[in-house]
Structure 1
Amino acid sequence: MSQPSKSELAILKILWAETPLSAREIQEKVGPKMDWSFSTTRTTLSRMCDKALLKQSSKHGVRVFSPCESKARTLSGVMREFFATVLEIDGPLPTAAFHDSKVLTEDEWLELDDLLNGGDNDD
């Protein structure tokens, strides 16, 4: 799985909360925060589909987007890369620090901990 950039993570956070969404709906949510034009949002969505971060489908004749992977699986890849390349941690990863995150539900945190430390390391 390709690692998402900061701007791609902003889109993924929106789609993890509410999916599927059209490009226009995503623009309404992310455009003002990121100071993006609609064409920038569409370009980013296209790039994310090429990187297999998003998948496209059609809903009532409108192209909509959904994440390819769960929030926990995507974040485990981001965290694993950060811990390995920046902090040079090879062993168990300190997921307890993220237990009180407002971004993760209890179930998502448990999935993330399992992905990082449980043995499913096929990132």
Structure 2
Amino acid sequence: MKPTLPTAAELAILRVLWDRGPCTVRDVHEAVYADTDIGYTSSLKIMQNMLAKGLVTRSEDARQHVYAAAVSERPTLNRLVRGWMDSAFAGSSLALAMQALDARPVAPEELAQLKAMIRKLEGKS
């Protein structure tokens, strides 16, 4: 059974786990919610829900519970993007990309990466 797609809050937590590897709830809470009014127990509850949904695993060997991502980054993000493409952009990769580029300014480094990706894709044709 495939895990459900993460919510925005769950995705923020997964990003921490993907970047840092296994973490305690405290570590994740400080990384995601340090400058907010969100409490530690809210982070704990979200992570417990993520465990039930199959998005994370939990090690109970240590005194503190340590959580790790149970889903890989790229397939998870691809599933999210495909869902957005289908629901908001009638399945169009171009419409999604154009909207993303229009939504906020693109840094020169990112523009160079986009151009390299386009050249790579053109080479596959």
TM-score by length of 1: 0.69
- Which residue in the other structure is 1:48 paired with? 50
Partner of 1:80: 82
Q: 1:62 aligns to what SS in structure 2? A: coil
Structural mapping, 1:28-67, within 5 Å: 28-67=30-69
Name the CA distance, whole Å, in 1 between partners of 2:21 and 2:35: 19
What's the offset of the Cα at 1:29? 1.1
How far residue 35 of structure 1 moved from its aligned partner, in angstroms, is 3.2
Name 1:6's counterpart in structure 2: 8
Shift of 1:58: 3.1
Unaligned runs of 5+ in 2: 102-109, 112-116, 118-125
Amino acid corresponding to residue 15 of structure 2 in structure 1: K
Structure 2 counterparts to residues 17-36 of structure 1, below 5 A = 17-36=19-38
Amino acid across the alignment from 2:67? F
Which residue of 1 is the match for residue 71 of structure 2? 69
Compare CA radii of gyration and give the structure with the larger one. Answer: 2
Matched residue SS, 1:89: coil
Structure 1 vs Structure 2 CA RMSD:
2.6
Instruction: Report the CA distance between 1:67 and its aligned residue.
Output: 0.9
Higher normalized helix content (fraction of residues): 2
Q: How far apart are the structure 2 equivalents of 1:88 and 1:59?
A: 47
In structure 2, how many angstroms separate the alpha carbons of the residues matched to 1:59 and 1:72? 29
Aligned length: 99
TM-score (norm 2): 0.68
